[in-house]
Structure 1
C-alpha cells in the first residue's frame, strides 16, 4: 500500500459520522404500533437533507434447544397468506406509548422479560429468567427501525416434553414442534422459515453445532 493510499485509509478509520443533526426528530404520524419521524441533517459538504424514519417496538425470538433439537412453532401468517415455521417470540411492547416510555430504560432487560412472557404464551413453557441468554441483536435498517432480540435457552433432554397447540389471547394459533437440527436446517434452506433475519441467526447457530 502506497503512502497516499495509507493516509487515505487512516483518514477513513478516524472519520466520525458524516451526518450532523440540526434538530430533534419531529413526529409526523403516530399510530397504535408505528410512528414516523423526520429529522434535518447537515452533511460534511454543507448540504442539508431531511431523513424520514418509521419506528415500532422491537421484537424477541427464542431459540429453545436440547442437544439435538430445536423448538419451532407452525402458525398462519397473514403477511404471507401461508403457514410459516417460526421461532417462538413476539413484541417487547404491545403499544407505541409503552415503547416510547420503555426507550428510557434498559431495552436488553425489557427484551429478556418479554422473551420469557412470549415463550410461555406460545408454547406453555414457563422457564426461569436466568435461562435466557441474549445471542444476537438484529437491526432492520436506517429508515425502518424494528430491532429483533434473539435469545438462546438450553434445556436438558430430560426436561423436554411434547407441547400442545395453543390459541393466544390475540387469537393466533401456534403449533409448537420439536424438530431435529437437520430438519430445521432444511426448513430454512427450502424457504419454509420465511422470516429472513431469523433464517440467518438459526443457520449461524446450527453451523456452530456442527
Structure 2
C-alpha cells in the first residue's frame, strides 16, 4: 500500500509498505522524481563550460555543470538540449550519452542521464527560471580538476559526470 504524503511541482513524497529481499516488511518513504539530465559541454579548444550558480536551498554559490529536470513526457536528450540552451546561451550539434547516475538512492528515485555536448554554438536564447542566477564560465580541464581538489567544486553530479567522462576517455 502506498500513500501520498505531499506533492510539490513534479516531486511527490510517497510512503509505501514494502517487503525487502529478506522478507522483512517495512514502511519506506520515497521522493519520486521525473529524472534529470547533466550536460558536460566541451568547447572546440578543449575547455569545459561550467556554471557558477546561486542555489537558494543552500544559500550559496555552486560551480556545476548545466543540468535540469525532465518535463512530463520529455525524452532525456530533448531535456539536455533544452537545458543547455536555457542555462548557458549555447546549443550543441552533437550530444553523446555516457550513462546515468543514481544520486540519492536512500530516499529518492531520481535518475540523472549524462551527456557530453560538442560543437557548441552561441544562441540568443537564455531563459533561466526566476530563481536561477547563473554565470557561464570557460575553464580548462586542469582548472576544473584543481577546483575539485581544492573543494571549490563540491557538486556531486558535476564531480561524477566529469569522473565518468575522464574514466571513459572522453576528456
Alignment TM-score, normalising by the size of structure 2: 0.81
Alignment partner for residue 51 of structure 1, among 4, 12, 28?
Answer: 28
Aligned-pair CA distance for 1:29? 2.3
Corresponding position of 1:70: 48
Distance 1:69 1:34 in 2: 35
Alpha-carbon separation, structure 2, partners of 1:43 and 1:134: 33
After TM superposition, the runs of 4+ consecutive aligned structure 1 residues lying more than 6 A away are none
For each residue in 1:171-192, what CA deviation from the matched residue of structure 2 results, as whole angstroms up to 9, or x when unmatched? 4222111111101111222222
Aligned CA RMSD, in angstroms, stands at 2.7
**Counterparts of residues 1-210 of structure 1 (less than 5 Å):** 23=1, 25-43=2-20, 46-65=23-42, 66=44, 68-93=46-71, 98=72, 102=73, 110-128=75-93, 131-139=94-102, 140-155=104-119, 168-207=128-167, 208=169
**Secondary structure of 1:197 counterpart:** helix
Per-residue CA deviation, residues 142-171 of structure 1 (Å, 9 max, x unaligned), is 42122211111122xxx677x99x662424
Alignment check: 8 A CA contact 1:61 1:151 kept: yes
Structure of higher RCO (CA pairs closer than 8 Å, 6+ residues apart): 2
Report which of the two structures shows the higher radius of gyration computed on alpha carbons.
1
Q: Which runs of 5+ in 2 are unaligned?
A: none
Query: Structure 1 regions of 5+ residues with no counterpart?
Result: 1-22, 103-108
Return the structure number with greater helix share: 1
Does structure 2 conserve the Cα–Cα contact (< 8 Å) formed by 1:185 and 1:203? no
Q: Which has the larger strand fraction?
A: 2
Q: Distance in 2 between matches of 1:170 and 1:112?
A: 24
Structure 1 residues 75 and 46: CA distance shift in structure 2, 3 A: closer
